[in-house]
A = this chain, B = another copy of it.
């Protein structure tokens, strides 16, 4: 049971967490913090938060658990602002899509409170944003990765872990650097490819016609190119090294495909396509989807 939960950033992610915990009766009071008063008021109306403030330090003071759910670009600033207000027992966690940069910011800002910071990343979301889109079932059967450092207080990690388990999520732990590599591969690189593909086609003289003739496969393939440009700029910059490494690996594989195509090497093309199909079909079979 969390007596007072502070949610800094009452959007899809923070709002859904608050709703999930409320639905299980695991939180007594939720204090919201943000910059858009309309959104915060709506959060109160929807019962996601009980009250709100514009000052993260005020929201964090006397909270048992503080969830930093602002954009990656604002996270370091919010951590610095709440640091002086944190009580000795307050646990701080976050939901950012990259972990090394957040850990570095927390280490720099939180000082003696750093052991009670538990970095986290719920792998959930969607194209819809804002508290209006929040949903208590958002995390059910989704993965949440926690990346506590060796400095972390095991009791704080356990509280954050229990909190996410209560939402129905599957929680696992990883090193921050490993998290950033895995996410660069499964999420960040695919987003870069989708953005670059749509950009590339938009620049063609027949762009209008091209989009007109696009079929369902194209729609699925480019769905992630409709994601927030601000969020993805932040993710790309915050995971620059792992993402650059993964981009280079992709260019290498794509180069092999290009060379097979240029050489008219049907056997090599078929082998690549078959390997990809087998791997993807096996992944789908395992995940039961």
Which residue numbers of A lie inside 8 Å of B, CB to CB?
A: 123-124, 142-143, 145, 178, 181-183, 185-187, 189-204, 206-207, 209-215, 217-230, 232-234, 236-237, 240, 243-244, 247, 249-254, 257-258, 261-262, 264, 266, 269-270, 272-277, 279-284, 286-287, 289
Contact = CB atoms under 8 A, between A and B. Distances in A.
A268 to B, nearest CB: 9
A123 B215 CA distance: 7
24 contacts: A182-B213, A183-B213, A185-B204, A186-B210, A186-B214, A187-B218, A190-B222, A192-B261, A193-B193, A195-B273, A196-B276, A200-B253, A211-B282, A211-B283, A211-B286, A220-B224, A221-B223, A225-B273, A226-B277, A230-B270, A232-B269, A237-B261, A244-B258, A244-B262
B218 A240 contact: no
A276 B202 contact: yes
B200 A187 contact: no
A237 B263 CA distance: 10
A142 B216 CA distance: 10
A248 to B, nearest CB: 8
A264 B280 contact: no
Please tell me how many copies of the chain the complex holds. Answer: 2
A194 B225 contact: no
A284 to B, nearest CB: 7
Contacts of A185: 201, 204, 206, 210
A213 B230 contact: no
A116 to B, nearest CB: 26
B249 A264 contact: no
B274 A229 contact: yes
